[in-house]
Homo-oligomer: A and B are copies of this chain.
Amino acid sequence: MKVVLSLGGSVFSDMEKIREFAEAIETIARENQIFVVVGGGKLAREYIRRARELGATETFCDYIGIAATRINAMLLISSLPSAAKKVPEDFIEAENLSKLYKVVVMGGTFPGHTTDATAALLAEFVKADVFINATNVDGVYSADPKLDPEAVKYDRLSPHQLVEIVSKNSARAGTNIVIDLLAAKIIERSRIKTYVILGTPENILKAVRGEAVGTIIA
């Protein structure tokens, strides 16, 4: 099976977390090919904030953010014996590396894309069997659960429903969006089986095993 995992940069603030995720990834790699796309997390936010203050354009800040995701990717690779040490710079390179290593870890690729969108494009490109979006909420809600006590979590959504919910929420200022619109549209057009889960090693393993967890888009 081919698995693409989008892993937010927040993982990288804690050594214990990195170790646990690495263990889960290696477990998955025993019987699957896994691609991980990591975010820039605190490091990216901090450097971008400072670059912006110093006068960098937003696009140059994006380049800095990409550099941060790549350092995070290298850190994760340090804990993964099965991973390629090369952080691929595009999807073609990622696929080639996947013929040599059970685990391929990517960071960002090009200004203007989020980690989620990069991961969704990668999932589409390699024809992933499953795309796991590890986030900090436990699934897709009808509204932001922190703002709206009546928000309902969906167990299952069609790709089209996902796009509708994300579109609607994207429009509202200050809303916590669990997956970005471009990513949702890619999931829709390519009908990749997707899990939006609370990012824990256990949940990732569950999603790989096809168990009910978070929101399944299928």
CA distance in complex: A47, B75 (Å): 7
A148 at the interface (CB under 8 A from B): no
* B91 A59 Cβ-Cβ under 8 A: yes
Mark each residue of chain A from 14 to 44: 1 if its CB lies under 8 Å from any CB of chain B, else 0: 0100110010000000000000000000010
Measured between beta carbons, the chain B residues less than 8 angstroms from A90 are 110
- Given A51-B74, A75-B64, A182-B112: A57 touches B124 (CB 8 Å cut-off): yes
Minimum CB–CB distance from A2 to chain B (whole Å) comes to: 12
CB neighbours of A101 from chain B (8 A): 99
CB distance from A215 to the nearest CB of B (A): 23
Quick check: is A96 within 8 A (CB to CB) of the other chain? yes
**Chain A 88-117 per-residue mask, 1 if CB under 8 angstroms from chain B, else 0:** 001111011101110000000111110001
Answer whether A19 and B54 are a contact pair too, CB < 8 Å, given A60-B85, A63-B92. Answer: yes
Contact indicator B60/A125 (Cβ below 8 Å)? yes
- A50-74 interface mask toward B, CB cutoff 8 Å, 1 = contact, 0 = none? 1111111111101110011011001
| Interface of A (DSSP majority class) | helix
A146: interface (CB < 8 Å): no
A-B pairs, 6 with minimum CB distance? A56-B78, A110-B110, A54-B79, A59-B125, A51-B78, A99-B100
22 A-B pairs whose Cβ atoms sit less than 8 Å apart in the complex:
A15-B50, A22-B54, A43-B43, A47-B74, A50-B75, A51-B75, A54-B79, A55-B79, A57-B124, A58-B124, A58-B186, A59-B122, A59-B125, A63-B85, A64-B75, A64-B78, A67-B74, A85-B92, A91-B111, A96-B97, A112-B113, A112-B186
Which chain A residues have a beta carbon within 8 Å of chain B's beta carbons?
15, 18-19, 22, 43, 47, 50-60, 62-64, 67-68, 70-71, 74-75, 77-79, 81, 84-86, 90-93, 95-97, 99-101, 109-113, 117, 121-122, 124-125, 127, 167, 171, 182, 186, 189-190
